[in-house]
Amino acid sequence: MKLKSLLTSAALAAGLATGAAAQDTTTVGFVYVGPVGDGGWTYQHDQGRLAVEAAYGDKVETIFQENVPEGPDSERVMTQMALAGADIIFTTSFGYMDATNAVAARFPDVKFEHATGYKREHPNVATYDARFYEGRAVIGTIAGHMTETNKIGYIASFPIPEVIQGINSSFLHAQKVNPDVEMSVVWVYTWFDPAKEADAANALINNGVDVIMQHTDSTAPQAAAQAANEAGGRVFTFGQASDMSNFAPSPRIASIIDDWAPYYVKRVGMVMDGTWESGHSWGGMPEGEVVIGPITEEVPAAVKAEAEAMIAAITDGSYHPFTGPIMKQDGSVFLAEGEVATDVQLVTMDFYVQGMTGEIPQ
Amino acid sequence: MMDLSSINPVVLVASLMVAATPILLAAIGELIVEKSGVLNLGVEGMMITGAICGFIIAVESGSPVIGFFAAALGAALLSSIFGFLTLVLLSNQVATGLALTLFGLGLSALMGQGYIGIKAPTTSPLNFGVLGDIPLIGRILFSHDWMVYLSLALIAGTWAFLKFTRAGLVLRAVGESHDAAHALGYKVIRIRLLAIMFGGACAGLGGAYLSLVRVPQWTEGMTAGAGWIALAIVVFASWKPWRVLLGAYLFGGITVLQLNLQAAGATIPVELLSMSPYIITILVLVIISADRRRAALSAPADLGKPFHATS
């Protein structure tokens, strides 16, 4: 595939190409922040890519580039893909936001879809995201029940609204079932660095944490918890982005799975029949984009039932994880009794809720 | 209200050593390579190749020791490709080194296809008997796995080799002036090739330490830049083995310390904590290498220059 795209771009450069639009196939590009084999975030996006191939067969060709750093280098990769004849390009990390819009300005005929961002400066840019905080509410509930030390650890990547939503959602729900719970957040400033993620997990475990959540992409924290358990510890984790079922039934006791396949298949289909439009999609459990993986037998049946009831309530729309009363960390009111957070309030979230310790880095 | 009592110094020192060892191994190997006058920017690629070679063989044989040997061998083989290209075919060292990194990342991803999510056999700490029971000191000094001690022995060995042995002198001579060394009858290419393979073997051990001890599992791209840190430490340590040790332990130590401070809820801004490993390591090594003339002297004069016997 890569060779083919190289040849295509070479042909374009030589002025020999008749244009990708003249062909019947739709070329779909994917820009990944980590390796396809990370077992987490990028792996799930690649599963979405494979679903697109499976859905459209010969009518579609996919190209992808792994390990693309956020920043100027991503702009180069996107430009190359656009030159190689991509009709639609999915850029699958928050840090590609400005690069996506910059490249989109230069290629008005190519559609761009940026994951987890909010900037749509051109009519050919759309954004999409999943309501991960819905899944966080469920695992927060499980974590609140499972912790014995009343300390939950959270390996956070970057201080952006998406990550802060996850921290607040899981803390609120852990606190709801266990008022004594505390949450230690460790910011690692990376999406993918197995060694650092493992170090962070070990630091949390050494500080008395017995349930670890992560908002980073590798399975290293799971392995660290597994090693701690073999040395006589009692630490639980949750699969992140992907099921990470290799670490079930313990330490991994449940997971939040991002399923991008329905969205990717739908959007590529819209490019094919010419109905694609810019916009923002934010699907969650009802759309099947956020899925809770199997809850293992380490979790008591009553807790499992409670978690499943919450999944059902979020899926049928009767429960929103951010429903008032919710106070901010400084004591001011975020949501009054019965009030539900708007999407704008969620995507601009830059504060901890009441009861959290520590500060969000600026 | 900073409650840091939850940080256990003994555990901290243990995790510091674990965090520093991969960089330390890769850096000491690269030091020898650069002392021989070759700049190999492929450390990252050799590390990750070592990580997967070590992991595969350790899983298949059930023995981490055999795994580490395989890691050293695999990465040394990879580095010999670099040696052949740069020494025999006289390709550009910078470009070839970068290509080696890309190649190593791709090759390891391919080799590791069937090994994602598998558990590696455990490398347990050495048993020092009574020594390990000494309060505090025993736990700090005598509670590590054998690779930690091997990496320290490699530092001491490299220092002694470069300072006291004839072979070390020859290696340095080749790095200072390959033409003069050649005129004296030393086999420049052979010496450099051996140095490159030693560097590869060390980088491979460092990579395997990641996949077998520190993380411990195989994940694509798991070195995540550790090779570049090792390269930087060699330069900032002005090609001195003990300073490499200091640099690697500072970097690894502060990385672990800042994560522990965060986990313990220290009221230091996270931004400062996150940049501290880089800033402090650079500052300390720059200050001890502050004498410019002496620092320039310790850089091998023929570093990165191609050698051709007839010229």
Q: How many CA atoms lie within 13 A of A301 on its CB side?
A: 0
Q: Determine the Cα–Cα distance for residues A125 and A147; give it in Å rounded to an integer.
A: 43
Q: Which of A153, A184, A220 sits opposite B217 (nearest CB)?
A: A220
Separation between Cα atoms, residue B227 and residue B45, nearest integer Å = 8
Least confident range from A8-12, B122-126, B203-207, B233-237: namely A8-12
Q: How far apart are the first and last CA of chain B?
A: 69
The answer on pLDDT for A19 being more than 60 is: no
Q: What is the pLDDT of residue A16?
A: 38
A355 exposed, middle or buried (CB, 10 Å; 0-12, 13-18, 19+)? middle
Higher pLDDT, A38 or B218: B218
Tens of pLDDT, residues A99-145? 999 999 999 999 999 998 888 999 999 999 999 999 999 999 999 99
Q: What percentage of chain A exceeds 70 in pLDDT?
A: 94
B144, two tokens = 């590590």
Structural tokens at position B145: 């796995």
CA-based nearest distance B60→chain A, Å: 18
β-pairing, A60-65 vs A26-31, is parallel
Nearest-by-Cβ selection for A189 from B15, B219, B274: B274
**A43-57: per-residue pLDDT in tens?**
999 999 999 999 999
Residue found under tokens 């939503």: A165
Per-residue pLDDT at B294 exceeds 70: no
Q: Does B105 contact A187 at a Cβ distance shorter than 8 Å? A: no
| C-beta neighbour count of A232 within 10 angstroms | 6
Q: What's the token pair of residue B301?
A: 């004069």
Candidates A196, A252, A329, A356, partner chain B, best to mutate (most B CBs within 10 A): A196
Domains (ranges, CATH) in chain A?
Answer: 2-130 (3.40.50.2300), 132-257+292-347 (3.40.50.2300)
Amino acid at position A92, single letter: T
A209 has pLDDT over 90: yes
Element (H, E) at A151: strand A151-156
Residue type, A152: I
Say yes or no for a CB contact (<8 Å) between A196 and B222. no
Contact between A333 and A351 under an 8 Å Cβ cutoff? The reply is: no
- Where helices occur in A231-300 by DSSP H, the ranges are 261-272
Give me the pLDDT at residue B4, please. Answer: 63
Q: Considering CB atoms only, which of A193, A358, A361 is closest to B224?
A: A193
For residue B224, what pLDDT band results from cuts at 50, 70 and 90?
confident
- What pLDDT does A71 receive? 84
Distance from CA of A10 to the nearest CA of B (A): 21
**What whole-number distance in Å separates Cα of residue A25 and Cα of residue A23?**
6
Asked if residue B112 lies in contact with residue B119, where contact means CB atoms within 8 angstroms, the answer is no
What is the structure's pLDDT at B275?
86
- Model confidence at B282, pLDDT cuts 50, 70, 90, reads confident
Burial of B89 (C-beta count, 10 Å sphere; 0-12/13-18/19+): exposed
Residue B17 has a CB neighbour count (10 Å cut-off) of: 24
User: What span, in angstroms and rounded, lies between the C-alpha atoms of A272 and A54?
Assistant: 15
- Res A11: pLDDT: 42
The domains of chain B, with CATH numbers, are 9-118+147-298 (1.10.3470)
**pLDDT above 70 for A354:** yes
Q: For chain B, give the percent of residues with pLDDT over 90.
A: 56
CB A78 within 8 A of CB A88: no
**Tens digits of per-residue pLDDT, B247-280?**
999 998 888 888 888 888 887 888 888 888 888 8
Work out whether strand A280-283 and strand A290-293 pair parallel, antiparallel, or are unpaired: unpaired
Q: Which among A190, A207, A230, A235 is the top mutation candidate for probing chain B, defined by the most B β-carbons within 10 Å of its own β-carbon?
A: A207
pLDDT for position B310: 67
pLDDT of residue A14: 41
Return d(Cα B227, Cα B22) in angstroms, integer: 9
Q: Give the 3-state secondary structure of residue B2.
A: coil
B134: pLDDT strictly greater than 80: no
pLDDT at A3: 46
Find the mean pLDDT for residues B286-290.
Answer: 77
SS3 A334: strand
Give the pLDDT band (50/70/90) at residue B5.
Answer: low
Tell if the CB–CB gap between A67 and B215 is shorter than 8 Å: no
Phi, psi of A25 (to 5 degrees): -80, 145
Cβ of B259 within 8 Å of Cβ of A219? The answer is no
User: B145: Cβ–Cβ under 8 A, 6 or more apart, which residues?
Assistant: B123, B124, B125, B126, B213
Per-chain mean pLDDT for chain B: 88
To probe the interface with A, which of B102, B124, B270 has the most A CB atoms within 10 Å?
B270
Q: Three-state SS for A362?
A: coil
- Cα four-point dihedral sign B106, B110, B111, B117: positive
* pLDDT one-digit tens code per residue, B27-76: 999 999 999 999 999 999 999 999 999 999 999 999 999 999 999 999 99
Res. A182 pLDDT band, cuts 50 70 90: very high
Report the share of chain A in percent with pLDDT over 90.
Answer: 72
What is this structure's pTM? 0.84
Spatial separation of the C-alpha atoms in residues A78 and B105, rounded to whole Å: 21
Tell me how far apart the alpha carbons of residues B145 and A5 are, in angstroms, rounded to a whole number.
47
Burial category of A239 from C-beta neighbours within 10 Å (exposed 0-12, middle 13-18, buried 19 and up): buried
Q: Could you tell me the two tokens for B310? A: 């007839």
Kindly indicate the confidence band of residue B1, based on its pLDDT and cuts at 50, 70 and 90: very low
What is the rounded average pLDDT for all residues in chain A? 89
Contact of B214 with B22, CB cutoff 8 Å: yes
Q: What is the pLDDT of residue A1?
A: 42
Determine the pLDDT at residue B172.
93
Q: Which residues of B touch A193 (CB under 8 A)?
A: 224-225
Confidence of residue B286 (pLDDT cuts 50, 70, 90): confident
Instruction: Calculate how close chain A gets to B40, using CA atoms only, in Å.
Output: 22
- Please compute the mean of the pLDDT values over residues A23-32 and round it to a whole number: 89
